[in-house]
Homo-oligomer: A and B are copies of this chain.
Amino acid sequence: MKWKPNRHSHLTLQEQIIDWMKSRIECGEWTVGTKIPTQRELAIQFQVNRSTVQLALDELKADGFIESKVGSGIYVANNSWNVLLNGSPPNWQQHIDASIHKPNYHTIQLINEYEQFHHVIRLGTGEIAPELLPTKLLEQSLKEIVLDARSIGYSSPLGNEKLRVHLCEYLKKRGIQTSSENILIVSGALQALQLIAVGLLEEGSVIFHEQPSYLNSVHPFQSAGMRMISVSKNDHLKYQLMTFKRKRQSLFYTVPTLHNPTGYNWSLKEKEDLFHVCKELQIPIIEDDVYHELLFDTTSPAIKSFDQSGQVLYIGSVSKTLSPGLRIGWVVGPSSVIGRLADIKMQTDYGSSAISQEIVSHWLSTGLYEQHLVELRQQLQLRASFVEHILTEQFKDIATWKKPEGGFYIWLKFHKPIVNKALFLRLLKENILINPGYIYDSNDSHHIRLSYAYASFEQLKVGLNTLFKMIQHNK
């Protein structure tokens, strides 16, 4: 639906592209200093050859509308003609550069951007495939939902009460006893982390986490000025925590069940040890438990199920199971904490979508959700086997991996340190997206977070094959 040139116009494609770009600049949508998309991206958008784009850009450069900066890209030029036409606009780039929030890593920006293109093979995506989403059943449930005028007004601070009551029942099956007043509905687990970062920690607090960590690929705590400390869950855990805790406030963040990005499960003993050490040191735990429903066989208790003293903030979500588009997750914790997080949420976005909350409530209360999970686990297991088969055929001499116990991911470790940005970009040129290990641990050049959840069987085969050949070719 983005603009593209009209092939039946009396103007050439190149002329239309030039006119369109000039109009972007003249109407102030591309201000001075704006980085123009790459030739590659424009060619995809316009559905023309890259050479056509190149010719159009050359002409705009010659006219002084845009300029190249070596090694960086093409930008809207700050020429007097522009200024005469529009007056001098605010220097937005300066605003952006000086502002508070960290940008996403460039690799992640590229992932977010290229995930939109349907022809791209996504080997790392943390999302279930379109064909695994219960789209028709969701559509059906929309037809069954009865809206109450009060429920589509501004939300109560904690979120839809019906949904919270159903969640209490659901959480019992996970060994978690709670009440609806101890649950806050959020727009996905990431928002829970944002609220915790600004609502429960002083600046400079210490966030303990494992390496590699999902938290390195997003910045909820870093952007709020927290210090990230990696620890390993070995015998020295207590010593590690004591060393860094000192007089700072601290929190331990963990995904102990179907860890992101590794897919590993902590043993029961490891969970208990962490809980007891943190309890002794009065370090609260954030248990991110968004994958647990996707365990193939055994269940593994939540750390929260040990908790009788409000030590653990527990986070759940339907994003990995039912649909990320609903944007519904939850936090369970002591009332004072939940009240504080709710107060900030009311200042942030006045609550989550009422319709999404109604849908999740419907799916939980009718049993649809758990029926869907049974089917989803089977499908994921089939996909896991398929990918393991390819790995065994092609990758066993160059990499190692653990058999997945559930979820989406295989943490593929190459013998040689070959996973770098160059590899990422080379694959992107072949329209293959990977999640390289370095976005979860900046020192990592051995791993890829492989996801068998998103791409089709055919795409998985083609994508892995291309990856394999590229590695062979470059070694």
Query: Residues on A close to B: CB < 8 A?
Result: 1-3, 24, 26-31, 33-35, 85-96, 98-104, 109, 112-113, 115-116, 118, 127, 130-131, 133, 135, 138-139, 142-143, 145-157, 161-162, 164-165, 177-182, 187-188, 190-191, 194, 197-203, 218-220, 223-225, 249, 279, 282-284, 307-311, 319, 323-327, 334-337, 340, 343-344, 346-356, 359
Q: Which residues on the B side are within 8 Å of A152 (C-beta)?
A: 133, 135, 138, 323-326
Collect the chain B residues with CB atoms within 8 Å of residue A154's CB: 115, 127, 319, 324-325
For A91, list chain B residues within 8 Å (CB): 282
A147 to chain B: which residues have CB within 8 Å?
A: 135, 138-139, 142
Q: When chains A and B are docked, how far (Å) is the Cα of A93 from the Cα of B234? A: 31
Shortest beta-carbon distance, A454 to chain B, in Å?
Answer: 9
Contact present for A90 and B284 (CB under 8 Å): yes
Give min CB distance, A103 to chain B, whole Å: 6
- Complex A-B: 13 CB contacts under 8 Å: A2-B161, A31-B335, A85-B308, A104-B346, A116-B156, A142-B147, A151-B325, A154-B319, A154-B325, A187-B353, A223-B347, A319-B350, A327-B353
Chain B proximity of A29: nearest CB distance (Å): 5
Say whether A282 contacts B89, CB under 8 Å: yes
**Pair A199/B153 contact, Cβ less than 8 Å:** no
Q: Contact at A130–B149, with CB atoms within 8 Å?
A: yes
Check B354–A355 contact: CB distance below 8 A.
no
Is B95 in contact with A284, judged by CB distance below 8 angstroms?
A: yes
B187 touches A340 (CB 8 A): no
Instruction: Pick the residue among B88, B104, B181 that contacts A347 (CB under 8 A).
Output: B104
Nearest chain B CB to A357 CB, angstrom units: 8
Contact B99 A199 (CB under 8 A): yes
A344 CA to B194 CA, complexed, in Å = 12
Nearest CB to that of A76 among chain B residues? B336
**CA gap between A179 and B27 in the complex, in Å:** 10
Residues of B contacting A346 with CB < 8 Å? 104, 112
Contact partner of A335 (CB less than 8 A), chosen from B29, B109, B324, B337, is: B29
A161 to B307 Cα, complex, angstroms: 44
User: How far is B33's CA from A188's CA once the two chains are assembled, in angstroms?
Assistant: 29
Complex alpha-carbon distance, A219 and B224, angstroms = 16
Q: Across the interface, do B28 and A334 meet the contact criterion of CB distance under 8 Å?
A: yes
- Within 8 Å by CB of A127, from B153, B201, B347, B359, lies B153
Complex Cα–Cα for A200 and B319 (A): 29
- The answer for the CA separation of A34 and B309 in the assembled complex, in Å, is 12
A164 to chain B, nearest CB (A): 8
A201 B99 Cβ-Cβ under 8 A: yes
Using A188-B350, A198-B99 as known contacts, say yes or no to A355 and B325 having CB atoms under 8 A apart.
yes
CB distance from A184 to the nearest CB of B (A): 13
A344 touches B162 (CB 8 A): no
With the chains together, A85 CA to B308 CA distance in Å? 9
The docked-state distance in angstroms from the alpha carbon of A93 to that of B1 is: 50
Q: Check B31–A324 contact: CB distance below 8 A.
A: no
Enumerate chain B residues within 8 angstroms of A127, measured Cβ to Cβ: 153-154
